[in-house]
Amino acid sequence: MEKIIILDFGSQTTQLIGRRIREIGVYSEILPGEAELTPAAIEGVKGIVLSGSPESVYEEGAPAPDPRIYELGLPLLGICYGTQRLMHDHGGAVSPHVGREYGRAKVHFKDEDRLLAGVTSGFVSWMSHGDAIEKLAPGYRTIAATENGVPAVVRHEAKPVWGLQFHPEVTHTEFGLQILKNFTLNIAGAKPEWNVDAFLAATSRNVKLTVGKKKALLLISGGVDSTVVAALLLQTLDRSQVHLMYIDTGLMRKGESGEVEASLKKLGADHLYHINAADKFLSALAGVGDPERKRELIGDMFITVQEAEVAKLKLDDAFLAQGTLYTDMIESGKGVGKKAHVIKSHHNVRSPLVEAKRAAGLVVEPLAALYKDEVRALGRKLGLPESVVGRHPFPGPGLGVRILGDVTREKLDILREADYLFIEELRKRGYYDKIWQAFSVLLPLRSVGVSGDMRRYGYVLSLRAVVSLDGMTADVFPFPTRDLLEISARITNSVKDIGRVVYDISSKPPATIEWE
Ligand code: XMP
83 has a pLDDT exceeding 60: yes
Give kind and range of the element (H or E) at residue 256.
helix 256-266
- Return mean pLDDT, the chain: 92
Most confident of 29-43, 71-85, 247-261: 71-85
C-alpha to C-alpha distance for 340 and 349, rounded to whole angstroms: 11
C-alpha to C-alpha distance for 294 and 146, rounded to whole angstroms: 51
201 has a pLDDT exceeding 70: yes
- CB contact at 8 A, 449 and 500: yes
CA dist list (Å): 190 to 1, 74, 323, 412: 9, 12, 29, 52
pLDDT in tens, 308-353: 999 999 999 999 999 988 877 654 333 333 333 333 333 444 688 9
Query: What is the per-residue pLDDT for 350?
Result: 66
Is the CB of 206 within 6 Å of ligand 1? no
Is the CB of 513 within 6 Å of ligand 1? yes
Q: Going by C-beta distance under 8 Å and a sequence separation of 6 or more, which residues neighbour residue 495? A: 414, 417, 418, 421, 461
Phi, psi angles (nearest 5°) of residue 448: -85, 145
Interval between CA 32 and ligand 1 midpoint (Å) = 25
Q: Going by C-beta distance under 8 Å and a sequence separation of 6 or more, which residues neighbour residue 433? A: 390
Q: What pTM, to 2 d.p., does this model score?
A: 0.81
Give kind and range of the element (H or E) at residue 465.
strand 454-467
Q: Whose CA is nearest to atom 12 of ligand 1?
A: 395
Q: Whose CA is nearest to atom 3 of ligand 1?
A: 512
Is the CB of 294 within 6 Å of ligand 1? no
Q: Whose CA is nearest to atom 19 of ligand 1?
A: 395
- CB contact at 8 A, 310 and 353: yes
384 has a pLDDT exceeding 70: yes
Is the CB of 393 within 6 Å of ligand 1? yes
Query: What is the per-residue pLDDT for 445?
Result: 92
Is the CB of 344 within 6 Å of ligand 1? yes
Q: Whose CA is nearest to atom 14 of ligand 1?
A: 395
pLDDT in tens, 275-317: 999 999 999 999 999 999 999 999 999 999 999 999 999 999 9
Q: Kindly tell me the burial class for residue 35, based on how many C-beta atoms sit within 10 Å of its own C-beta (0-12, 13-18, 19 or more).
A: middle
Number of H helices, E strands in the chain: 15, 20
Interval between CA 276 and ligand 1 midpoint (Å) = 24
User: For residue 71, which of 56, 83, 89 has the smallest C-alpha distance?
Assistant: 89
pLDDT in tens, 456-512: 889 999 999 999 877 877 899 999 999 999 999 999 999 999 999 999 999 988 899
Q: Kindly tell me the burial class for residue 362, based on how many C-beta atoms sit within 10 Å of its own C-beta (0-12, 13-18, 19 or more).
A: buried
pLDDT in tens, 21-38: 999 999 999 999 999 999
Q: What domains sit in the chain, N to C, each tagged with a CATH number?
A: 3-187 (3.40.50.880), 196-389 (3.40.50.620), 403-503 (3.30.300.10)
pLDDT in tens, 96-153: 988 788 888 999 999 999 999 999 999 999 998 889 999 999 999 999 999 988 999 9
253 has a pLDDT exceeding 70: yes
237 has a pLDDT exceeding 80: yes
